[in-house]
Amino acid sequence: MCGRFVLTANPQNLQQEFDLSTPPVEVQPRYNIAPTQPVAVITNEAPHQLTYHRWGLIPSWAKDMSMAAKMINARSESAAEKPAFRAAFRRRRCIIPADGFYEWQEQGKDKTPMFIHMQDRKLFGLAGLWEIWQDPDGGELRTCTILTTDANPFMQQYHHRMPVVLHKEDYPLWLSPKEEPLPVLQGLMKPYDEDAFSAYAVSKAVNRPANDSPELLQPFNQQRLL
């Protein structure tokens, strides 16, 4: 799954990596992005612009916001058929930029937070879906979810699932405004290359969503966890 992630890249790197029309100057470094918070997304509605959506998808037909907290992830294997995700999978896809995410490694009764990142520390794009929900007063709320897939061999030591990380050459297809054939889209829903990742332990301070500072990314001596 993917329950916390990081985006610290500067606006120029974001523009270059995702072919944005202008640098998104409103972006601020985030070290502990958590569910229900605003997250930076690039939608197939505006594939050269970075906007913000609330993390936790609310289907357009939902009566209230209560299901959002349970919709931070969507299984890519079934998203095209599930009522909550199928319309978005066909017509409302997005990329969620990140330069790392957290996963918790079980060690007996303890869980150690691990920071997962590309070995070259480059930005990457997570495959996501987005929706527009109208509240009872007529207000509009844009929300999103992150797609997951089976963990690659590297990630299996931490969790049996991982976010769908897209290859850069597949960004245009995923952000196509058209209803692309489902088999073509589903072909992108696969584990990313296992040798691309690296990981290290970080402080349990990341467990609290209120903590959001560069210190969270400092390597943490695992002996101090005992």
Query: Which of the residues are catalytic?
Result: 2, 103
Nearest CA to 79 among 16, 152, 130, 11?
Answer: 130
Q: What DSSP letter does each residue of 94-163 carry, written as one string?
A: EEEEESEEEEEEEETTEEEEEEEEETT---EEEEEEEEEEE-TTS-EEEEEEEEEEEPPTTGGGT-SEEE
Bridge pairing between strands 38-43 and 51-55: antiparallel
Q: How far is 171 from 94, CA to CA, in rounded Å?
A: 9
Please check whether residue 10 is in contact with residue 40, taking contact to mean a CB–CB distance below 8 angstroms.
no
CB 100 within 8 A of CB 188: no
CB within 8 Å of 116: residues ≥ 6 apart: 100, 101, 102, 103, 155, 158, 197, 198, 199
